[in-house]
């Protein structure tokens, strides 16, 4: 075998047209078909495990899981033969339990299967023209029953068991609804179809004998024991707005006239085609699933209806509507939800509903969400991610990121992440995509569409085109390893473009047929191409000419690749070989062993090679290639492999096929280890974002920031309002608490006075109790002395009695011992003799029984031998002596009856003997019981003697203890008297000290209050004196200023007067000067001074008043604080006094 191993890691895809293609294994794990595998997918942890299909499998047709979730049945076609494989799901990994492939009846394929409720039986339906229903005991591969369900070549869509009964079976198909029961090795129909026949597409059991059935005309029927009990129709109405909505109409409990039967629809594709031509007034019910409240059914494209059972009768009403979501990435979002729902499945807890559609998609919904969305239709969500719904035509990967790019005939381009196994980007287009290539950086992608070749940016949330080329239907395109060039195929021409200026720099012409594959060498200096014309060319890109060529007209090449050293070209095509080409010649041709190779990939190390085949298998082989059949083959896909790639580090193999599935494989070398990277390169995390997107996001951020600021302002305003309200409340509470504190202080004073009173009364009560105790002690002493004397007298009397009794008992014991010993001897002798007689009788009876049994066995043997001889004679002479045989049989029956009577009589005798033995044993047991009772009497007498001795000893001990206690009590009384005297001596000086301390405390409190009053008075006097001092200082400064002003005025007046005296000889001038002096010094100056004085006085008065008010307020606060401090000191002093 090959040293190269590939292990499947993850698959992106679903095969929707497998019957019953999705179901739950447990609450977290679902199972669905993908490629040629069944996938176990954990919804929470996102891991996948694979159940491989059979080797050489051509198609997976149907699945079924057992009710106990232990077994999975897969129907396949292997080499044109039908096979049913049953896997055990509980084992890890899942192993094949049984393979059913040898059939005694004609069969082409099995289209539907079901397990019985106990998982022991398997029901399988074959396809037309046989249309057989087979009932298997699958563990023993035994066919229990087989019946032909249809004779008109109509398809059968579903078979099922009753959920509680192994023998009851339901079959539905085109014009067929049958209930069958397995009895006496055959399947018999138990119902009769009435009315016109319908095309029944799906059914489910809602009870032991109740079945819901859906048709292709949108009708739902409820059958109970084969009789119709309820019917409803799901119609599509076209309102004025043009949108189509489903409504449930026409409910009735009685039988109604059916519409005419549509033409036979043997497959899902034909059903869809017929429905597209007909009016869409009748949605087709492809799937029905039951749950505890009712059932869910598909109701046309993209719709699921939930029906709940009404309490009063067996009628169901529509309760919820669930739609498929509209996909915004679709090229026609309005039609993206118009998918036919083919399968529905509830989780075991009924918390989740899963659906699979005709476009290979998986959806799920939490049932609690359907209950929340009352009145409006709920919407499914993707279970994993959107999957390809058609053949994948292109596959590419890059170096700097763990990305995979795929394109498909479903007109979509998808970017996957093979590290996290998720879908990164996805977009649908108007045209089909035939080829794709990813730039080594992972930021760009080139896609060949039917109309154009587009170069596109991979943005953070979109795939956006930035350059288009008029290359129609490019079936192959590829970026160079360095990323500076890319090649695109246009028919039989290869165009080379640069990624810098995006221009076509070269066109390579030479192929006469369509080019199917191009590949770059390691340094991007050469390009290798292969096509349908049987030519493989090696192009030199510096000159644009062919360097080597190899043409083989008989072969149409599918794929070519080149070795890492660029010396050897590998090509695969339609001639069932793999070719090694070097220097324009074929070096070797390795046979493909009856399959066509469709894809090829070689590792960057040059040691591993992988090829894909036309039957969907992957072959892993080492290089250099072996001539023999030395490779590992994996049955992966359900269609021809279209593309195959290895990642740049040779860690993962990527494969795609026409089944629309993408597989990722982990590659291992011969030692079982993964291929190590030559250099560790961390994947890039950068993404492309356009400037407009950034500006829009910046604008949104600014708007959000302004909104945040506004909210902050509003919050601050609200906080201020709350602070004001709370401050007012705090003031009210503080006032309230101060009042309560005052009231509590008064209460405290009252309680203290009461406490003092209670202390005095308590002391008096203690003195009374002590007096009473002393009197009671004296009385007890006198009483105890008298009692002790009495007890001592009684003790002496009891001693004498006990001595007498002991003597008497000893005499009685001696007498009893003698009599009992004699009686025992006599009894033992008597019963031993009897026992010997009985044992001899028993032995004789046993010997008789054995003898009779031996005789019976001999007679039995003789009878058996006679019977055997007679039977042989009867067999040989059966035809001749029939009457003699009957007579001999009658005679033998009589003899056997006699022997049976003898045997019964012997058995009775044995039973009588056994009864006699049991009676003898009973008598023996009784005698032994008498002996044991006598022994018990002796032991009882001995026990009584011991108890009497123990009671005497206990009484002596009690007397001794009482004497001791009396002495201790006397000592204790003396000690207590002494202690009482000492305590009285200690209490009196303590009480005096307490009295003195209380008086001192009262005096200290009075002094404290007096000092407090003095302090307050002195503080007030000090403040008043300070105020007076400040006022006098200010007045003194003012007066001094006035004095200076007056002195200056006097000086000026003197000078002016001295100047006037100079005019004493001139009266007129003197008069004028005197008038001027008057105007200068009397009228203006005096008036101004008076006004100034008045304003100064008012200002000084107001200032003094404010100053005094402030002082008064501070003094009040100080008084309150000092009062609190004094109270606290007082309380602390009182506590200290009380503690002392």
pLDDT tens digits, residue range 182-209? Answer: 988 888 888 887 777 888 999 999 888 8
Q: CB–CB of 576/594 below 8 Å?
A: yes
Determine the average pLDDT of the residues in 863-870. Answer: 80
Compute the distance between CA of residue 558 and CA of residue 532 in angstroms, rounded to an integer.
7
Query: For residue 1047, what are the contacts with CB-CB under 8 A and spacing of at least 6?
Result: none
Question: Which of 67-81, 272-286, 483-497, 597-611 shows the lowest per-residue confidence on average (mean pLDDT)?
Answer: 272-286
Question: Which of 330-344, 422-436, 479-493 shows the lowest per-residue confidence on average (mean pLDDT)?
Answer: 330-344
Question: Which of 269-283, 1051-1065, 1109-1123 shows the lowest per-residue confidence on average (mean pLDDT)?
Answer: 269-283
- Helix 1067-1078 and helix 882-1061: axis angle, to 10°? 160
Q: CB–CB of 160/205 below 8 Å?
A: yes
For the record, the structure tokens of 235 come out as 């119609």
| Signed CA dihedral, 780, 781, 786, 790: sign only | positive
Q: What is the percent of the chain where pLDDT is above 70?
A: 93
Confidence of residue 29 (pLDDT cuts 50, 70, 90): very high
For 386-427, how does the pLDDT look when each residue is reduced to its tens digit (9 = 90+)? Answer: 999 999 999 999 998 999 999 999 999 999 999 999 999 989
Compute the distance between CA of residue 796 and CA of residue 801 in angstroms, rounded to an integer.
9
Establish how many alpha carbons lie within 13 A of residue 1004's alpha carbon, considering only the half-sphere containing its beta carbon.
13
Determine the average pLDDT of the residues in 239-264. Answer: 35
| Signed CA dihedral, 833, 836, 842, 845: sign only | negative
pLDDT at 241: 37
pLDDT score of 154 more than 80: yes
Phi-psi sector, 35: left (phi>0), alpha (psi -120 to 50), beta: left
Q: Token match 């991610």: residue?
A: 385
pLDDT score of 1088 more than 80: no
Question: Which of 361-375, 783-797, 948-962 shows the lowest per-residue confidence on average (mean pLDDT)?
Answer: 361-375
Query: What is the per-residue DSSP string for 1018-1065?
Result: HHHHHHHHHHHHHHHHHHHHHHHHHHHHHHHHHHHHHHHHHHHHTTTT
pLDDT score of 1014 more than 90: no
Compute the distance between CA of residue 655 and CA of residue 1106 in angstroms, rounded to an integer.
96
For 658-699, how does the pLDDT look when each residue is reduced to its tens digit (9 = 90+)? Answer: 999 999 999 987 654 545 555 566 787 888 888 888 888 889
Instruction: Specify the pairing of strand 316-323 against strand 378-379.
Output: parallel
More confident residue, 435 or 263: 435
Diameter over CA atoms, the chain: 209
pLDDT at 649: 86
pLDDT score of 274 more than 60: no
From residue 547, alpha-carbon distances to 95, 527, 530, 761, 1030 in Å are 53, 10, 14, 130, 117
Query: With the CA atoms of 67, 72, 75 and 76 taken in that order, what torsion angle do they form, in degrees rounded to the nearest 10?
Result: 170
For the record, the structure tokens of 31 come out as 């199972």
Query: For residue 313, what are the contacts with CB-CB under 8 A and spacing of at least 6?
Result: 253
Q: CB–CB of 462/424 below 8 Å?
A: no
Q: CB–CB of 40/55 below 8 Å?
A: no
Overall pTM surpassing 0.85 (yes/no): no
pLDDT at 372: 65
Compute the distance between CA of residue 855 and CA of residue 1013 in angstroms, rounded to an integer.
136
For 903-919, how does the pLDDT look when each residue is reduced to its tens digit (9 = 90+)? Answer: 888 888 888 888 888 88
pLDDT score of 271 more than 50: no
More confident residue, 859 or 643: 643
More confident residue, 850 or 407: 407
Compute the distance between CA of residue 639 and CA of residue 657 in angstroms, rounded to an integer.
6
Q: CB–CB of 59/100 below 8 Å?
A: no
Compute the distance between CA of residue 94 and CA of residue 72 in angstroms, rounded to an integer.
10
pLDDT at 432: 92
pLDDT at 556: 92
Q: Token match 């008084």: residue?
A: 1119
Determine the average pLDDT of the residues in 308-332. Answer: 82
Determine the average pLDDT of the residues in 486-515. Answer: 92
């Amino acid at each position: 075998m090959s040293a190269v191993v590939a292990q499947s890691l993850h698959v992106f895809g679903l095969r929707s047209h497998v019957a019953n293609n999705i179901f739950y294994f447990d609450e977290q794990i679902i199972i669905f078909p993908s490629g040629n595998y069944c996938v176990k997918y954990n919804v929470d942890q996102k891991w996948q495990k694979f159940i491989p299909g059979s080797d050489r499998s051509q198609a997976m047709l149907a699945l079924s899981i057992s009710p106990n979730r232990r077994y999975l049945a897969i129907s396949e076609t292997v080499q044109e033969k039908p096979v049913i494989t049953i896997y055990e799901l509980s084992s890890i990994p899942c192993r094949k339990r049984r393979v059913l492939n040898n059939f005694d009846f004609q069969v082409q394929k099995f289209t539907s299967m079901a397990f019985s409720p106990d998982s022991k039986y398997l029901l399988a339906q074959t396809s037309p023209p046989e249309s057989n229903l087979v009932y298997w005991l699958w563990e023993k591969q035994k066919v229990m029953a087989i019946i032909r369900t249809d004779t008109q070549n109509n398809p059968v869509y579903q078979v099922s068991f009753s959920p509680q009964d192994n023998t009851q079976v339901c079959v539905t198909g085109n014009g067929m609804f049958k209930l069958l029961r397995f009895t006496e090795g055959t399947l018999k129909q138990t119902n009769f179809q009435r009315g016109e026949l319908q095309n029944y597409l799906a059914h489910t059991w809602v009870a032991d004998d109740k079945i819901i059935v859906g048709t292709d005309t949108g009708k739902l029927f409820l059958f109970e024991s084969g009789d119709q009990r309820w019917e409803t129709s799901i119609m599509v109405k076209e309102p004025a707005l043009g949108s189509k909505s489903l409504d449930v109409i026409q409910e009735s409990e009685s039988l109604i006239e059916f519409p005419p039967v549509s033409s036979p629809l043997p497959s899902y594709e034909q059903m869809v085609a017929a429905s597209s031509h007909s009016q869409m007034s009748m949605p087709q019910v492809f799937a029905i699933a039951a749950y505890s409240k009712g059932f869910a059914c598909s109701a046309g494209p993209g719709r699921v209806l939930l029906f709940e059972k009404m309490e009063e009768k067996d009628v169901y009403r529509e309760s919820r509507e669930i739609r498929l979501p509209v996909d915004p990435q679709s090229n026609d979002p309005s039609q993206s939800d118009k998918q036919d729902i083919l399968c529905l499945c509830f989780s075991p807890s009924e918390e989740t509903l899963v659906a699979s559609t005709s476009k290979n998609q998986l959806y799920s919904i939490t049932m609690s969400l359907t209950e929340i969305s009352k009145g409006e239709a709920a919407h499914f969500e993707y279970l994993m991610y959107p999957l390809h719904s058609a053949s994948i035509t292109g596959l590419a990967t890059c170096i700097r990121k763990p990305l995979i790019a795929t394109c498909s005939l479903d007109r979509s381009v998808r970017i996957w992440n093979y590290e996290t196994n998720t879908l990164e980007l996805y977009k649908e287009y108007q045209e089909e995509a035939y080829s794709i290539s990813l730039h080594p950086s992972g930021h760009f992608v080139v896609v060949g569409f039917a109309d154009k070749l587009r170069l596109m940016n991979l943005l953070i949330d979109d795939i956006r085109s930035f350059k288009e080329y008029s290359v129609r239907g490019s079936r192959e395109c590829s970026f160079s390893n360095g990323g500076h060039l890319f090649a695109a195929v246009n028919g039989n021409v290869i165009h080379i473009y640069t990624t810098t200026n995006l221009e076509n720099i070269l066109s390579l012409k030479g192929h006469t047929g369509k080019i199917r594959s191009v590949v770059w060498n390691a340094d991007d200096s050469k390009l290798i191409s292969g096509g349908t014309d049987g030519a493989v060319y090696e192009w030199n890109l510096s000159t644009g000419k062919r360097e080597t060529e190899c043409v083989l007209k008989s072969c149409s090449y599918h794929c070519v690749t080149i070795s890492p050293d660029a010396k050897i070209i590998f090509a695969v095509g339609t001639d069932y070989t793999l070719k090694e080409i070097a220097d324009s010649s074929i070096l070797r041709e390795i046979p493909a062993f009856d399959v066509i190779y469709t894809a090829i990939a070689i590792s960057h190390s040059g040691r591993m090679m992988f090829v894909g085949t036309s039957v969907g298998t992957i072959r892993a082989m080492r290089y250099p290639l072996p001539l023999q059949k030395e490779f590992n083959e994996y049955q992966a896909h359900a269609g021809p492999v279209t593309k195959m790639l290895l990642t740049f580090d040779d860690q993962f193999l990527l494969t795609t096929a026409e089944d629309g599935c993408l597989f990722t494989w982990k590659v291992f070398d011969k030692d079982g280890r993964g291929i190590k990277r030559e250099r560790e390169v961390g994947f890039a995390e950068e993404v492309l974002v356009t400037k407009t997107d950034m500006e829009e996001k910046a604008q949104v951020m600014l708007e959000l920031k302004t909104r945040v600021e506004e909210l902050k302002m509003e919050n601050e305003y609200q906080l201020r309002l709350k602070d004001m309200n709370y401050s007012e409340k705090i003031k009210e509470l503080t006032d309230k608490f101060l009042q309560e504190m005052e009231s509590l202080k008064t209460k405290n004073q009252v309680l203290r006075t009461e406490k003092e009173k209670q202390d005095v009364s308590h002391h008096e009560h203690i003195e009374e109790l002590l007096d009473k105790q002393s009197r009671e002690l004296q009385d007890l002493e006198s009483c105890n002395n008298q009692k002790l004397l009495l007890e001592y007298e009684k003790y002496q009397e009891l001693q004498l009695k006990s001595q007498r009794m002991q003597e008497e008992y000893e005499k009685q014991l001696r007498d009893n011992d003698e009599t009992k010993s004699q009686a025992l001897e006599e009894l033992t002798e008597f019963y031993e003799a009897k026992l010997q007689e009985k044992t001899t009788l028993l032995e004789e009876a046993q010997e008789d029984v054995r003898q009779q049994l031996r005789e019976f066995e001999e007679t039995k043997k003789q009878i058996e031998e006679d019977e055997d001889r007679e039977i042989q004679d009867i067999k040989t002479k059966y035809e001749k002596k029939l009457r003699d045989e009957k007579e001999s049989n009658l005679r033998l029956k009589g003899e056997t009856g006699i022997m049976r009577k003898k045997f019964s009589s012997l058995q009775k005798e044995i039973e009588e003997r056994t009864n006699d033995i049991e009676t003898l044993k009973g008598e023996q047991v009784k005698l032994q019981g008498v002996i044991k009772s006598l022994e018990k009497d002796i032991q009882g007498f001995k026990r009584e003697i011991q108890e009497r001795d123990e009671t005497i000893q206990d009484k002596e001990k009690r007397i001794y203890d009482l004497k001791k206690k009396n002495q201790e009590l006397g000592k204790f009384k003396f000690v207590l008297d002494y202690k009482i005297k000492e305590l009285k001596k200690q209490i009196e000086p303590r009480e005096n000290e307490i009295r003195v301390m209380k008086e001192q405390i009262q005096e200290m409190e009075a002094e404290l209050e007096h000092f407090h009053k003095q302090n307050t008075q002195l503080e007030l006097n000090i403040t008043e004196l300070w105020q007076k001092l400040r006022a006098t200082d200010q007045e003194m400064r003012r007066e001094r200023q006035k004095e200076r002003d007056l002195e200056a005025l006097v000086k000026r007046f003197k000078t002016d007067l001295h100047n006037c005296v100079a005019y004493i000889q001139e009266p007129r001038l003197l008069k004028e000067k005197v008038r001027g002096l008057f105007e200068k010094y009397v009228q203006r100056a005096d008036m101004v001074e008076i006004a100034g004085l008045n304003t100064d006085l008012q200002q000084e008065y107001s200032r003094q008043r404010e100053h005094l008010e402030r002082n008064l307020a501070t003094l009040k606060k100080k008084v309150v604080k000092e009062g609190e401090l004094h109270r606290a000191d007082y309380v602390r002093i009182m506590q200290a006094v009380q503690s002392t």
